[in-house]
């Protein structure tokens, strides 16, 4: 399968879902107490390019997000650290059942291949891609669970896709387009 075909598969699935996320709303937290020294989510500063260091508010945290609108749809980028490096821009992709990493980031970080393949499928077709190992990857300082990720050619400066396999661990993920923030509640 060609690189162009894989990119089209992944983006065809990601764009409509990212647009649909604009309407996502969070449920109020059942317990709103904050630990001493914490800062409310709404007061957290930090541009996407800066290393995110969100302050946990109870069990919730907030991160900057970058929104890119084009004729083809809307993409939401979130900062993710891989093996202690970054942050790197990952596309928030609730329509992807598996998170993945771009081939250029695999080369940059020297992520080792497992020798296994993963089948990817989108609205325009399917194919197989290699799998790499990561020691740790985090969003907002919170470790993500997967230790192996599919390798794809996303291009466009995208370092990876953060899929529903990781997002489903949160009770809510709220996109605040007015303030370019994304809030996570476990």
Asked whether residue 28 is assigned to any structural domain, the reply reads no
Asked whether residue 55 is assigned to any structural domain, the reply reads no
Asked whether residue 31 is assigned to any structural domain, the reply reads no
pTM of the model: 0.69
Strand boundaries in the chain, DSSP class E: 61-64, 66-70, 73-82, 85-93, 100-102, 113-122, 125-133, 137-139, 142-143, 148-152, 160-163, 172-176, 181-185
Parent domain of 94 = 3-21+61-185
Per the structure, the count of domains in the chain is 1
Asked whether residue 170 is assigned to any structural domain, the reply reads yes
> Each residue's pLDDT tens digit in the chain (186 positions)?
444 444 444 444 443 333 333 333 333 333 333 333 323 333 334 444 443 444 344 478 999 999 999 888 899 999 999 999 999 999 999 988 899 999 999 999 999 999 999 888 766 778 899 999 999 999 998 999 999 999 998 877 899 999 999 999 899 999 999 999 999 998
**CATH number, residue 8:** 2.40.70.10
Asked whether residue 40 is assigned to any structural domain, the reply reads no
Asked whether residue 44 is assigned to any structural domain, the reply reads no
Mapped onto helix, strand or coil, the DSSP state of residue 102 is strand
Asked whether residue 84 is assigned to any structural domain, the reply reads yes
Contact indicator for 150, 9 with CB cutoff of 8 Å: no
Asked whether residue 47 is assigned to any structural domain, the reply reads no
């Amino acid at each position: 399968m060609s690189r162009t075909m894989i990119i089209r598969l992944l983006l065809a699935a990601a764009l409509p879902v990212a647009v649909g996320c604009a309407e996502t709303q969070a449920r109020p937290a059942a317990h709103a107490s904050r630990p001493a020294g914490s800062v409310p989510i709404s007061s957290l500063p930090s541009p996407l390019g800066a290393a995110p260091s969100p302050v946990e508010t109870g069990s919730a945290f907030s991160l900057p997000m970058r929104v890119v609108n084009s004729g083809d749809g809307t993409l939401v980028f979130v900062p993710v650290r891989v093996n202690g490096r970054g942050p790197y821009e990952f596309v928030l992709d609730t329509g992807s059942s598996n998170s993945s990493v771009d081939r250029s980031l695999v080369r940059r970080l020297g992520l080792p291949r497992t020798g296994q393949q993963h089948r990817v499928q989108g609205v325009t077709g399917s194919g197989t891609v290699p799998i790499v190992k990561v020691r740790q990857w985090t969003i907002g300082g919170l470790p993500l669970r997967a230790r192996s990720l599919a390798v794809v050619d996303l291009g466009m400066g995208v370092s990876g896709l953060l899929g529903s396999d990781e997002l489903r661990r949160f009770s809510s993920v709220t996109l605040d387009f007015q303030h370019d923030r994304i809030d996570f509640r476990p």
